């Protein structure tokens, strides 16, 4: 006969316990960011509308805002001058507790090539923190935020999880 050996159990037979439920597979979710402008007109609202995330205006995000921060400035002299003091504020621990400064986003203040002194300031900033550049987009200036973001911003789109 093709049967296996018989097993005899002496005493009461315990009912096998149900196996604990398997945990649900982890889902990768896009990281949410708070866009923080370093000066008026930096482009925070436009970037939040185009790439998603929380528009913090010129304030640090509150408890309800995402703690991952992207500082935003224009590429004119005043905008670039605001970047390093803000980065130092975070590094000294003077920003609200729990925030994570991820990068600086520099938005072109005009079409065309940057003057050499401004390009030099950007290289200095890049030596301290990750920098993402956003070129001049005439459609954005006119209020049309519906088009595809510029190809030059693909690294930024990947960072914020806004690949289309």
- Of 46, 112, 47, 128, the C-alpha closest to 80 is 128
pLDDT tens digits, 6-44: 555 555 556 556 666 565 554 445 568 999 999 999 999
Q: What is the pLDDT of residue 130?
A: 96
Strand, helix or coil at 36?
Answer: strand
User: Are residues 94 and 72 in contact, defined by beta-carbon separation less than 8 angstroms?
Assistant: no
- Over residues 38-90, the pLDDT tens digits come to 999 999 999 999 999 999 999 999 888 899 999 999 999 999 999 999 999 99
Residue 163 scores a pLDDT above 80: no
Neighbours of 107 (CB within 10 A): 24
pLDDT in the model for residue 64? 87
The sign of the CA dihedral 150, 164, 63, 27 is: negative
């Amino acid at each position: 006969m093709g049967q296996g050996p018989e097993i005899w159990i002496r005493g009461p037979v315990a009912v096998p316990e149900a196996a604990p439920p398997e945990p649900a597979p982890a889902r990768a979710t896009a990281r949410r960011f708070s866009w923080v402008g370093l000066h008026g007109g930096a482009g925070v609202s436009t970037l939040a509308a185009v790439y998603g995330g929380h528009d913090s205006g010129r304030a640090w995000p509150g408890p309800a805002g995402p703690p991952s921060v992207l500082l935003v400035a224009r590429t004119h002299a005043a905008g670039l001058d605001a970047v390093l003091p803000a980065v130092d504020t975070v590094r000294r621990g003077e920003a609200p507790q729990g925030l994570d400064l991820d990068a600086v986003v520099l938005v072109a203040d005009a079409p065309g090539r940057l003057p050499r002194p401004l390009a030099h300031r950007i290289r200095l900033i890049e030596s301290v923190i990750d920098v993402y550049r956003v070129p001049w987009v005439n459609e954005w200036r006119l209020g049309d935020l519906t088009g595809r973001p510029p190809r030059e911003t693909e690294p930024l789109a990947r960072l914020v999880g806004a690949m289309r």
